[in-house]
């Protein structure tokens, strides 16, 4: 049967050649018996995992040399779609030759990248990423059985995006460090939400405990509150000049957000702080106008005066605002 007849040409083309090849010709499918492993002086581990979202399941066999915890042989059985077979085959291949501790670090993304024909083209369509690439979960289970611990003991952080294995702490840190404001930016920086998309917002492929829309909203709220507090502290103590550069920028942004930005946006413009430099006489704040404010005659007169006056009142009388 032709590819187009089975899945439709556009969907079939979303799979890499490696995936379509391994669907029909997996290299590591099969099983290892306990007798076989024992005959070679090794220990056999058999782990099962099923994805509730799609009904796919995989059984992973590890033959481990107990003298060094090395996975010397590995097989799998897959109960599910062709993508599950291909991804399980690559997962099994990645395990061979690694210690158990090394294998635990294999992620779904490692498997998906190994299935790509080229580094920039995903191996499977987004809706197939999570339900078919179950590597991390079944590997954790196998490692837990070998070490005699719960599989979850290998998970030290809250994972928001199961596909890309992106943690809650990483998402919060990336949003803060890069001042991210959209889900698209989060995906660009972390790959979270770029595959099955279940973690973006409720109503996706499967229900999640954490969603990117909520994390972005809450983190931005915390950032804004911190800015406001920095501005209030600076105004109360008069200590703006002795703040760190990061603290100064946050304080300036907080004042702009509270008293200035809304008026700029109403006129189709905006502004951003580029740098702050202190001299013996002034604290120079370099800004860049955006949108309609860029090139507006008022940006060098009335608007500039309003910004500078507000910052002087709220933060320090020594402030001088310089547009660039």
Catalytic residues: 54, 131
Cα distances (angstroms) measured from residue 261 to each of 265, 269, 273? 6, 9, 12
Let me know: does 296 contact 269? Beta carbons within 8 Å: yes
Q: Where are the extended beta strands (E) located within 120-268? A: 159-161, 166-167
Q: Are 170 and 124 in contact (CB under 8 A)?
A: no
* 8 A C-beta contact, residue 250 and residue 230: yes
DSSP strand E in the chain: where?
Answer: 43-50, 57-65, 70-79, 159-161, 166-167, 269-278, 283-291, 319-323
Q: In 3D, which of 145, 134, 125 has the Cα closest to residue 78? A: 134
Q: Which letter does DSSP use for residue 294 in this model?
A: T
Q: Give the integer Cα–Cα distance in Å for 274 and 322.
A: 10
**For the chain, what percentages of helix, strand and coil (3-state, to nearest 5) are there?**
50, 20, 35
How distant, in Å, are the alpha carbons of 113, 230, 240 from that of 282? Answer: 53, 20, 12
Quick one: tokens of 205?
């492929």
Question: What token pair was written down for 248?
Answer: 């100064």
């Amino acid at each position: 049967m032709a590819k187009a007849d089975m899945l439709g040409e556009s969907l079939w083309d979303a799979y890499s050649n490696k995936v379509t090849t391994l669907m029909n010709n997996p290299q590591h499918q099969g099983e290892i018996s306990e007798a076989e492993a024992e005959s070679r002086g090794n220990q056999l581990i058999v782990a099962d995992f099923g994805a509730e979202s799609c009904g796919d399941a995989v059984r992973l066999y590890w033959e481990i040399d107990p003298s060094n915890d090395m996975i010397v042989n590995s097989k799998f059985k897959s109960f599910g779609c062709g993508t599950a077979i291909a991804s399980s085959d690559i997962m099994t291949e990645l395990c061979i030759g690694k210690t158990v501790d090394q294998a635990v670090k294999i992620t779904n993304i490692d498997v998906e990248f190994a299935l790509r024909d080229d580094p920039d083209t995903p191996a499977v369509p987004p809706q197939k990423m999570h339900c078919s690439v179950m590597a991390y979960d079944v590997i954790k289970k196998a490692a837990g059985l070998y070490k005699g611990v719960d599989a979850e003991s290998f998970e030290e952080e809250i994972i928001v995006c199961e596909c890309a294995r992106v943690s809650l702490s990483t998402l919060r840190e990336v949003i803060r460090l890069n001042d991210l404001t959209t889900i698209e930016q989060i995906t660009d920086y972390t790959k979270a939400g770029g595959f099955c998309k279940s973690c973006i917002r409720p109503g996706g492929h499967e229900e999640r405990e954490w969603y990117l829309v909520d994390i972005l909203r809450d983190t931005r709220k915390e950032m804004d509150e911190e800015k406001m507090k920095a501005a209030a502290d600076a105004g109360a103590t008069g200590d703006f000049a002795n703040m760190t550069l990061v603290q100064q920028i946050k304080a300036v942004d907080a004042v702009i957000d509270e008293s200035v930005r809304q008026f700029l946006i109403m006129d189709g413009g905006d502004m951003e702080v580029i740098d702050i430099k202190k001299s013996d006489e002034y604290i120079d704040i370099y800004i860049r106008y955006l949108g309609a404010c860029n090139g507006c005659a008022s940006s060098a007169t009335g608007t500039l005066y309003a910004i500078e006056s507000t910052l002087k009142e709220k933060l320090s009388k020594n402030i001088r605002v310089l547009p660039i």
